[in-house]
Structure 1
Amino acid sequence: MSTKYVIAVVGNDRPGLVELLASAVADHQGSWLESRMSVLAGQFAGVALVQVPDEQAAALEKKLHDLSDETLRLTLAKAGAREPARPHRTACLELVGHDRPGIVQEITRVLREKGVNIDDIVTERMSGAMSGGHLFRAVVELQIPDTIELDRLRDDLEGLANELMVDIHVRELLDEGA
Structure 2
Amino acid sequence: MRKRGIMQTHLVFTVIAKDRPGLVERMAEIIAGTGGNWIESSMARLGGEFAGIVRIAIEGLHADELVEKLQALSADGIDITLRSDQTGAELPEGASAHLDLVSQDHPGILRDITRVLSEKGVSIEHLETEVVSGSMQGEALFKASADLRLPGGLDPASLSDALQETAGDLMADINLID
Aligned AA (2:31):
V
Q: Distance in 2 between matches of 1:116 and 1:8?
A: 23
Match of 1:29?
35
1: distance between equivalents of 2:172 and 2:17?
A: 33
- Residue 12 of structure 1 corresponds to 18
Q: Deviations over 1:102-128 (max 9, x none)?
A: 111111110000111111111111111
Q: RMSD across aligned C-alpha pairs, in angstroms?
A: 1.6
Give 2:132's aligned residue.
126
User: TM-score, normalised to structure 1's length?
Assistant: 0.90
- 1:97-176 alignment, distance < 5 Å: 97-172=103-178
Quick check: 1:93–1:141 contact (8 Å CA) kept in 2? yes
- Unpaired stretches in structure 1, ≥5 consecutive residues: 173-178
User: What is the rounded CA distance, in whole Å, between the counterparts of 2:109 and 2:42 in structure 1?
Assistant: 23
* Matched positions, count: 171
1:46 to 31, 49, 52: 52
TM-score (normalizing by structure 2): 0.90
Q: CA deviation at 1:71?
A: 2.7
Deviations 1:52-84 (A, max 9, x none): 122211111110111114732110133435566
For residue 28 of structure 1, report the CA deviation from its aligned partner: 0.1
2:95 is paired with a residue of what secondary structure? strand
Q: Which amino acid aligns with 1:119?
A: E
